[in-house]
Structure 1
Amino acid sequence: MLKKKNLHAVGIIAEYNPFHNGHAYHIRKAKELANAEYVVVVMSGDFVQRGSPAIYDKYTRTAMALSCGADLVLEIPSVFASSSAEDFASCAVALLNGLGAVDSLCFGSESGDMEKLSAIATILANEPAIYSEELRIQLKKGAAFPKARNAALVTSGAVREEDASILSSPNNILGIEYLKAIYRQSASLIPLTIERNGSDYHDPLLTPDRFCSATGLRKALKETDHLSSEETIFDYVPEPVKLKILESKPLYYDDFNLLLNTALLRLSMEGIPFQNFADVSDELAARITKQLPDYHTFEEKINQLKTRQYTYTRISRALLHILLGTTNQLTAAGRQAGYAPYARILGFKKTSVPLMGEIKKRGSIPLIAKTAGAETGFTGAAASMLRHDFYSSHIYQTVLQAKYDIKVKNEFTQSVVIL
């Protein structure tokens, strides 16, 4: 009797905000590097890790990914999709590992040096005393956590001075967090990295390099008429993505101005402390309260609250948590539940049906394909997290419908994307 061949799948953690040529390259290289038959993407939903709305809804971005090489796209639970790099990575790794049928995780990094990234991740995962003490000293001096952590790693000797630049590059930082999560969770995922080429992650400009940054692409889409900007935008995205851009409607921070200001006023009136929400410290809550009567836009409010200690992204995430009702209690319960107590399908290729069969057999978490009635199958933190997923997307869909005066499907009428 012939032994059944094992399926090989590589995992990718992504936002695709929006999808561009660099993402398509990553999918191709990941599949090649891992010698995999399938690519499984775990992706942020309608709100992303930097604390902002995704430029296009999650179903549009899922279709982009599937049309450019992904085989299965799953949603990172919203509680952690807009969380710190550590929680974001922990959730994404737990989700991939819980599938049971994904062999490896491939991520992009500016370094491309797995040995150096792994060495740093090992220190952060184990937190030796010399590092922890130096981190405490740096935080006491008032440094923001990312800078305090980087200084502690260098000062404690964990990272050589000449390698310190590794700690200032965003994809390296996320890659280190993925490795740290793999080590802490004892996940059965082989880590692989591809050196990032092209524009820097935060580069706001489109350059002749065809691998632009998503930041640059978003900036171009916002500042120009995307229906007539082929020369500045369409050179940087795969052909199928061009079509999705032409037919899709973008959202930005300031489309959520009214909802944010309303949420802040309502919570203040009801006496609900802002520090009940994730990423909101007592000091930040006091600053928000002091500036409450000033009805600024979302981005103006971020800049108004930003300090040396509180970075733009930290403030952005904090305000989004308030808007979406992401409480400390919900976040803590999600961590306790293992970060990813379910895997929600956003879309798949018909050719990936054998893979989903393997996931159902070997996975330790349930696959959710239909939203109608899905909540009844869960209790505790899992049920709360799933309701938060629905609520977050319904907020996004409400704003999208109001801005463009169009009919938008909700989480219970929208089908998964199938190609």
Structure 2
Amino acid sequence: MIKEKNLHAVGIIAEYNPFHNGHAYHIRKAKELSNAEYAVVVMSGDFVQRGAPAIYDKYTRTAMALSCGADLVLEIPSVFASGSAEDFASSSVALLNGLGAVDTVCFGSESGDMEKLSAIATILANEPAVYSDELRKELKKGATFPEARNTALVTSGAVGKEDASILASPNNILGIEYLKAIYRQNASLTPLTIARNGSGYHDPLLMPDRFCSATGLRKALRESGEHYNETENTVFDYVPDPVKLKIQESKPLYCDDFSLLLNAALLRLSMEGIPFNNFSDVSDELAARITKQLPDYHSFEEKINQLKTRQYTYTRVSRALLHILLGTTCQLTEDARRAGYAPYARILGFKKESVSLMGEIKKRGSIPLIAKTAGAETNLTGAAAAMLRHDFYSSHIYQTVLQAKYGIKIKNEFTQSVVIL
């Protein structure tokens, strides 16, 4: 009898906002280090973890990824795609683990030191008394949560003082959250990390002969306006060839494109007496600040800057406002956590050669694989069905703004097919 060949797939958690040369490098190295035939990407949909719209819609970004090494792209549920780092990571890991056919997850980090990242993740996942006590003590002193956490990690012995800065780097933070989720979920995923090369995560500059940051690329695209297809370098030097055409063809969206919808949502909720703290990431204090400033019209970004404080960072406020706009309630978020963070896997696109991979997922996965939107909701129940409806709603909001801004007709979630290359 012929023994069936084991299929190896590596999981990648991404936003590709937008896709650039560093992402293509990551996919290549992830396959190489894991000895995997396939790269399965779980990706944010139309809104991303920093609490903002993705610069390009999820189908455009899926096509970018598939043309540059990804074999299958799945959507991270929208409830968590724009959630905290912990929720984002928990959902992503649960999604990859639920497929049954992914045995490794590979992420980038500024540190590149799995031993140190793992030591920190172990403390944060188990929260021993020495850590928890010190964390509470520092918070009572008025320290911000990141400051208190760093002090508690040093006190608990997870890191030395010289390594406390590990948690100041965004990719390290996400990497630690991925490890935490793997440990807490007892996921059958072997973690690998690749040291991040090139510009920092938030670096707004495009530097020659270096991988750029997505932040820098978005800044360059925004400053170029509608004429970026005519520039001789700036943008196109930092993206793979297949992505260049997609950038030329696609229409970008930014936070301020959603200003009218945000202000309308805030006014409607106030009129109907629905508290702002009903929504995920909106504390009582932040809700009071929003209410106080409600009568004044501000753009999305102006409102974020108006509300942010030392305790409430720009990203935290942006995320809270986005949750209000998209109707991401605390109840929906809690129900989604109880449902296992990722009770289904929705396909955004795949390569024709990866059909055998999807066959393995259908055979070995513990969650349903959704390829068609028609009737998908009726095959789910409870929180899972509510999460899928939220996915549809979030993307329809994005598509509405895209159509209004550019005066174009685009497909919606029920007429758009998955991307196949």
Same fold per TM (> 0.5)? yes
Q: Which residue of 1 aligns with 2:149?
A: 149
SS in 2 for 1:231: coil
Q: Which residue of 1 aligns with 2:243?
A: 241
CA distance in 2, matches of 1:365, 1:92: 13
* Alignment of 1:173 onto 2:173: yes
Q: Equivalent residues in 2 for 1:303-322 (5 A)?
A: 303-322=305-324
Q: Which residue of 2 aligns with 1:359?
A: 361
The Cα of 1:151 is off from its aligned counterpart by 2.3
Q: Which residue of 2 aligns with 1:272?
A: 274
CA distance in 2, matches of 1:280, 1:322: 8
Flag as ranges the 4+ runs of structure 1 deviating above 4 A: none
The Cα of 1:201 is off from its aligned counterpart by 0.2
Q: Which residue of 2 aligns with 1:56?
A: 56
Indicate conservation of the 8 Å contact 1:11/1:39, yes or no.
yes
Indicate conservation of the 8 Å contact 1:76/1:92, yes or no.
yes
CA distance in 2, matches of 1:14, 1:231: 25
Q: Equivalent residues in 2 for 1:394-409 (5 A)?
A: 394-409=396-411
CA distance in 2, matches of 1:342, 1:313: 28
Between Structure 1 and Structure 2, how many residues are aligned? 419
The Cα of 1:64 is off from its aligned counterpart by 0.1
Q: Which residue of 1 aligns with 2:67?
A: 67
Which residue identity does 1:253 align to in structure 2? C
* Offset from partner CA, 1:120-146 (integer Å, 9 cap, x none): 000000000111111112222333322
* Alignment of 1:256 onto 2:258: yes
Indicate conservation of the 8 Å contact 1:343/1:367, yes or no.
yes
Indicate conservation of the 8 Å contact 1:210/1:235, yes or no.
no
CA distance in 2, matches of 1:272, 1:212: 43
- Tell me the TM-score normalised to structure 2 length: 0.99
Q: Which residue of 1 aligns with 2:374?
A: 372
Q: Which residue of 1 aligns with 2:216?
A: 216
CA distance in 2, matches of 1:177, 1:378: 28
Indicate conservation of the 8 Å contact 1:10/1:40, yes or no.
yes
* Alignment of 1:204 onto 2:201: no
SS in 1 for 2:234: helix
Q: Equivalent residues in 2 for 1:30-179 (5 A)?
A: 30-179=30-179
Which residue identity does 2:33 align to in structure 1? L
Which residue identity does 2:289 align to in structure 1? R
The Cα of 1:351 is off from its aligned counterpart by 0.3
- Tell me the TM-score normalised to structure 1 length: 0.99
Mean Cα deviation higher: 138-147 or 27-36: 138-147
Mean Cα deviation higher: 228-237 or 404-413: 228-237
Indicate conservation of the 8 Å contact 2:24/2:69, yes or no.
yes
Give the gaps of 5 or more residues in structure 2: none
Aligned-residue identity in percent = 87
CA distance in 2, matches of 1:150, 1:209: 34
The Cα of 1:147 is off from its aligned counterpart by 2.6
Q: Equivalent residues in 2 for 1:296-335 (5 A)?
A: 296-335=298-337
Which residue identity does 1:246 align to in structure 2? Q
Indicate conservation of the 8 Å contact 1:345/1:416, yes or no.
yes
CA distance in 2, matches of 1:209, 1:150: 34
Indicate conservation of the 8 Å contact 1:45/1:57, yes or no.
yes
Indicate conservation of the 8 Å contact 1:73/1:348, yes or no.
yes
CA distance in 2, matches of 1:251, 1:180: 33
Given candidates 322, 337, 340, the residue that maps to 2:339 is 337
CA distance in 2, matches of 1:155, 1:311: 25
Indicate conservation of the 8 Å contact 1:17/1:55, yes or no.
yes
RMSD: 0.8
* Offset from partner CA, 1:316-368 (integer Å, 9 cap, x none): 10000000000000000000000000000000000000000000000000000
Q: Which residue of 1 aligns with 2:419?
A: 417
* Offset from partner CA, 1:230-289 (integer Å, 9 cap, x none): 311000000000000000000000000000000000000000000000000000000000
* Offset from partner CA, 1:135-184 (integer Å, 9 cap, x none): 11222233332232222212333210011121111100100000000000
* Alignment of 1:290 onto 2:292: yes
Indicate conservation of the 8 Å contact 1:199/1:209, yes or no.
no
Give the gaps of 5 or more residues in structure 1: none
* Alignment of 1:347 onto 2:344: no
The Cα of 1:210 is off from its aligned counterpart by 3.2
CA distance in 1, matches of 2:147, 2:207: 29
CA distance in 1, matches of 2:276, 2:232: 44
CA distance in 2, matches of 1:170, 1:310: 17
